[in-house]
Each structure stands twice: as structure tokens, then as C-alpha cells.
Structure 1
Amino acid sequence: MDKLIVTEKAVEVIELLKAKHGNLVFEQSSGCCDGTVPMCFQADGHYISSQLVLIGEIAGVPYYIDKHQAEYLKHMQLLVDVMEGRGASFSLESAEGFAFLMKSSVME
């Protein structure tokens, strides 16, 4: 069972963003509000904090998560999905009318 999975709709949005922005990176930091959701940025020139760990890739895009969240979620499978509507974030998909979200379930 894969730790990190992605829906087909989310892959479509990721591919749209790749076509517009080039290399991408996902970051899910800790804290409140936007920090609790997947945020997609242009990879070139983006600083990855030492507090983030790489947990995998989705659609060829590296996915980093806060190391404390990674520990908390170590027994969970993470599903990245997308919904229509603008998220309240600086994430690239927001300008396209989408918002990424993460769902988790216990790994068996």
C-alpha cells in the first residue's frame, strides 16, 4: 500500500499547473489554516525548510510535509485530491479555481 496517493482529477490539475509554471513542488507545513493543506509552488527558487521531509511524489512532483506531521501521520495513507473553488492560499491552483486537499486513512 502506497503512503501517498492522488486522485485522477488532482493529477489533471497538476498537469495543468506544470504546463503553465514548469517544475512544481508540494509543501504541507504545520500550523493552522493554509498550513494544513497541500500547497503547490513553482519549484525553481522555492526554499524547502529543514523542518520539512520528503514523503513521496505525486504526478512526478515532490511532496514535502512538516516532520512533526509526518511522525503523527506515519500510520496513515495520505490521499491528495482537489475540489472546485478557490482556496484561501498562495498555492498555484487557487488562481485556476481549484483547491488541493488531503484526506487520510489508517494503513492496513
Structure 2
Amino acid sequence: MIKRLDITEDAKKVIQELATKHGDLMFYQAGGCCEGTQPQCFEKGGYFPRMNDAMIGLAESYEFWIDRDLFEYWQYSHFTLDVLDGFGPGGFSLETPLGKTFKVHYRLFSDDELKNLEPVKRSE
């Protein structure tokens, strides 16, 4: 099965640091508004996915959710979670006090990859 989500080594380090400080985490990438489409990191349960949002994979064992409308647009794309120095818009995400911001890099799946994608989990 082809994974929909990968994580850079830099992002893994920040996730481990956040998990040590905050415990279980979760990620959510919204479709717009305040934070745009920047992925946000919360303490697990700190954000509640809406009905039919998509969980596309695990970021270091923590669920990575995508807004249902955004997923419809990006469902044919592979996500790579990365982290950059600096502050993203807003500042709701747990990495903000570290002077970091999560970012996703996208690429389209090949035709062969599309035939063997991991399934997504939908919120109810």
C-alpha cells in the first residue's frame, strides 16, 4: 500500500519534542480561514474533526486529519509534513512557541500509485 503521508526528519524531531512536552498529539489541516491551509498541531482532543473529514495517515503515530473539502481537492496528492523556522499565520499550533511552523509539500501520485493507495479514515 502506498502511504499518503510522509514526514521529514526535521518534522519528526519537532513532533517528538512536542509529544514530550504535551503528550499525545493530533494534526489538522483546514481548508481556509484564519490559518489558511497550514497544518496545525494540537494536543490530542484539542480539535474535533468535522463529519466526513479525512484522516490520511499518521505523523509519528499521531493522526493527521484533513478538512473534508480540502481532501476532495488534494485526494490525488501525496503529503510530506515538514517544519520551517519562523512563525506561520495565527499561532494556534503547538510548535509556534518554538519559533517553528509546520508546512506540507505536495506532489501528485503516479497512475500506478493511485491504484494502491492506503485507505483514508472518515470522521463520523
* Same fold by TM-score greater than 0.5: yes
Deviations 1:47-84 (A, max 9, x none): 22225221111111100001111111111111110001
Give the match for residue 96 of structure 1. 98
Question: Given the alignment of the two structures, is residue 78 of structure 1 paired with residue 79 of structure 2, yes or no?
Answer: yes
Displaced runs of 4 or more, over 4 A = none
What's the counterpart of residue 32 of structure 2?
A: 31
Equivalence for 2:6: 5
List runs of 5+ in structure 1 lacking aligned partners. Answer: none
- How many equivalent residue pairs? 108
SS at match of 2:101: strand
1:54 matched residue in structure 2: 55
Q: TM-score, normalised by structure 2?
A: 0.80
- Please give the TM-score of this superposition, normalised by the length of structure 1: 0.91
Aligned Cα root-mean-square deviation (Å):
1.5
Q: CA separation of 1:35/1:51 partners in 2, compared to 1, >3 Å: closer, same or farther? A: farther
Alignment partners' CA distance in 2, 1:86 and 1:75:
29
Instruction: Find the structure with the greater CA-based Rg.
Output: 2
Percent sequence identity is: 35
Question: Would you say the 8 A contact 2:86–2:99 is kept in 1?
Answer: yes
